[in-house]
Structure 1
Amino acid sequence: MKLHIWLAGLAALAWAGLAHAGPVGFETASAPVAGDKPLALTIWYPTEATERPTPLALYIQSVAPGGAPAGRGHPLVVISHGTGGSNADHYDTARALAAAGFVVAAPTHTGDTQGDRSRSTRITERPAELSRVIDYMTRDWRGRDTVDATKIGAFGFSSGGFTVLGAIGGEPDMTRIARHCAEHPHFYDCQLQRQLGGAAGAPAAPAPVAHDPRIRAAVVAAPALGFAFAPTGLSKVSIPVQLWRAEWDTVLPQPYYAEVVHGLLPRAEYHVVPAAEHFDFMAPCSNTLAKVAPSICVDSLDRAAFHKAFNSQVVAFFQKTLR
């Protein structure tokens, strides 16, 4: 009952965010990275072309594949997925943004996918990849003339939340991980550190976090390594932030992650989702995905209903901060 009341209130507040819903174009691209592998991108954008059911990884989405980008002055939102994920993980949120007049670009972070975990512990390198995506979308993408390069936002989930916090000015102290994991060896991030800490090619010291002042607003959901930002690690963040936490997050249990970020960013728009688990921020699972990855598809709530409200609120936030 608490969840239903919360969803109803959230949807009512955000309804205006989806007042305009136009057709959504879709395409894949590759953003070159100097001295490294190119970044695989998925891109959603306003179009006048006709949508049709289209496969994307293990999902089916309604989009117009290859449709011509339409309009001018669209804000750009870049999306950063969680560890071991892909650029399809938040397709429904991306599509909702594009239907409301945004251009959206999501990279698959190099070496941090289900099939390649070689760089999963090199998380401080991720913010620079977001900057490369912004470069590509504003300079090289075929629809760059439809993008307003002065209106850029970022969305991140889990490790992607950490990525976005770093990109907008966060300065993590990565030495805090050792103490955290000594105290909480059973936590997911500490187990991952043990499993992958010796990955081939891992640098002796973490790379500096690349900040990108072009990002003017951010949505951060269930951020990883929140404890690494204490006590002054987010003091340089000055843009609007919408922060989300799952009430029953067993992957990143509180108060070590989102709660730390909330304490350091007290003016952030903060949402705690009743009865939600960590993976509820990912797109509702298809039947195929549920068979392949059941652990991320065990819902503690009606994920489809939650995402209608969640996506509306994300759209409304970016409309307010980037329009």
Structure 2
Amino acid sequence: MSLRHVFAAALLAASIASPALAANAGFMVLHEPRPNAPPVEVGVWYPTDAAPSFMALGGWGHTVAAGAPVTGDHLPLIVMSHGNGGFFGGHADTAQALAEAGFVVAALTHPGDNYKDQSRATAMADRPAALSALIGWMLDASPLKARIDPDKVGAFGFSSGGFTVLAAAGGEPDIGKVPSHCKVHPDNYDCKLTANHPIPADILTAKWAHDARIKAVVSAAPALGFTFGKDGLKGIKAPVQLWKASDDEVLPGDDYAEFVHRNLARPHDYRVVQGARHFDFLTPCTNTKGVEILCASAPGFDRVAFHREFNTVVTRFFTDQLVAPVKSPTGQ
């Protein structure tokens, strides 16, 4: 085969094996209905050709075309789970990057564990159940349902959200391990949180919601990694990309991301970010007023530069895992 045909075949394979690139990211806020409960707030990013503009979002911001038409069909879906006390917009720049690469991204504000409501802050089994319900709603009832490929679903989570996506993808945590952990590490954030918000009794016996529709997982600085024990990660069949901040002051030591890394038997992509603190996985701040603790990186650590790399790596991982490789026309 000539070089010209090799080049043409490579271009064809690359064009099919990657989501269609859009010029920009569209954005809308939707409300997922729930029976006998208030609706769930959901931020949705998606590919569009409409012109964007900067939009503030809490202490963060993103450059999006609000309410613009969706570009493309059979689009892969990424669901996002934020950390304790967060909201749907904590990873807006990552969501924007994914949308510009051809993904639909749906990030929920977790009921009972967000910046306005901490009434279920330690009811960890609520979280994967809510994430699975979001997948179902996005595929079956949301305004974007006709544009999404139901066979191409990934999950991204940070901190408590990092725990959430591991559990939703098949992990079986044992929350009963928390008290003994906290006797040894009373000053860790998770232990202070459970001291102020005791774990509800129903969570200790709750069944964990697993969702086989999740085909790829990115977990950044996962909380409560130790609760999975040595056998609790065996049920995860999806490819995993796992991130750790080397200087994590919120979840320090080897009981969190490092524990998952050591006990996740299947091959996975493990990345330790040197010089990063816990909240460096959040979108770089445009307004630090009232969220100073979330915006303070260590001296010399460039969160903006890190996010350029982080977003590229995360997007590449989801692209590789959710868009099936295609053989060249010659079958090679």
Q: What is the TM-score normalised by the length of structure 1?
A: 0.90
The code of the aligned residue for 1:190 comes to C
Q: Would you say the 8 A contact 2:59–2:289 is kept in 1?
A: no
Q: Displacement of 1:131 after TM fit?
A: 1.0
**For each residue in 1:74-130, what CA deviation from the matched residue of structure 2 results, as whole angstroms up to 9, or x when unmatched?**
100000000000000000000000000000000000011122111101011100111
User: In structure 1, what is the Cα distance between the partners aligned to 2:147 and 2:85?
Assistant: 32
| 3-state SS of paired residue (1:31) | strand
Q: Secondary structure at the match of 1:175?
A: helix
Question: Which AA in structure 2 matches 1:296?
Answer: L
Name which of structure 1's ranges 182-191 and 18-27 shifts more when overlaid on structure 2.
18-27
In structure 2, list runs of 5 or more residues that go unmatched.
1-16, 324-332
> Alpha-carbon deviation of 1:205?
3.8
Task: Give the alignment of 1:58-69 within 5 angstroms.
Answer: 58-69=59-70
User: How far apart, in 2, do the equivalents of 1:159 and 1:205 lie?
Assistant: 15
Aligned partners of 1:70, 1:18: CA distance in 2, in Å?
Answer: 11
Question: 1:135 maps to what in 2?
Answer: 136
Residue deviations 1:8-60 (CA, integer Å, cap 9, x gap) = xxxxxxxx999945211100000112232221000000112221222323333
- 1:28 equivalent to 2:29? Answer yes
* Cα deviation, residue 69, structure 1: 1.2
| 1:17–1:312 contact (8 Å) kept in structure 2 | no
- The answer to whether the 8 A contact 1:77-1:104 is kept is yes
Q: Secondary structure at the match of 2:321?
A: helix
Distance 2:207 2:121 in 1: 16
Aligned to 1:167: 168
Alignment of 1:217-296 (within 5 A): 217-266=216-265, 267-286=267-286, 288=287, 290-296=288-294
Amino acid across the alignment from 2:109: T
Tell me, in whole angstroms, the C-alpha distance in 1 between the residues paired with 2:244 and 2:208: 24
State the SS of the aligned residue for 1:292: coil
C-alpha distance in 2 between matches for 1:37 and 1:268: 38
Match of 1:321 in 2: 321
Give, in whole Å, the separation in 2 of the partners of 1:59 and 1:226: 28
Distance 1:294 1:143, change over 3 A: same
Identity, % of aligned positions: 46
SS in 1 for 2:233: coil
Matched position secondary structure for 1:220: strand
- AA aligned to 1:307 is H
Query: 1:53 is paired with a residue of what secondary structure?
Result: strand
Matched to 1:275, the amino acid is G
* SS in structure 2 of the partner of residue 32 of structure 1: strand
Higher mean alpha-carbon deviation, 86-95 vs 43-52, is at: 43-52
| 1:209 and 2:208 matched | yes
Distance 1:264 1:41 in 2: 33
SS in 2 for 1:283: coil
Q: Secondary structure at the match of 1:37?
A: strand
Deviations 1:151-199 (A, max 9, x none): 000000000001001000000011100100011111110001011117x
Change over 3 Å in CA distance of 1:147–1:67 after alignment to 2: same
Matches within 5 A, 1:138-217: 138-197=139-198, 202-206=200-204, 207-217=206-216
Which residue is 2:99 aligned to? 98
Alpha-carbon deviation of 1:203? 4.2
Give the unaligned 5+ runs of structure 1: 1-15
TM (norm. structure 2) is 0.88
Provide closer, same or farther for how the CA distance between residues 234 and 280 of structure 1 changes in structure 2, counting only shifts above 3 A. same
Counterpart residue number, 1:8: none
Higher Rg: 2
Cα drift, residue 254 of structure 1: 1.7
Give the match for residue 9 of structure 1: none
Q: Out of 20-29 and 122-131, give the one that drifted further.
A: 20-29
CA RMSD of aligned residues (A): 1.7
Aligned to 1:78: 79
Cα distance in 2 between the residues matched to 1:18 and 1:34: 34
* Matched residue SS, 1:291: coil
Aligned partner letter, 1:247 = S
Query: Cα deviations across residues 264-299 of structure 1 (Å, max 9, x unaligned)?
Result: 22411000000110000000012x2x2211111110
TM-fit CA distance, 1:258: 0.5
Q: How many Å separate the matches in 1 of 2:312 and 2:67?
A: 25
Larger mean CA deviation between 88-97 and 129-138 belongs to 129-138
Judge which range, 70-79 or 50-59, deviates more.
50-59
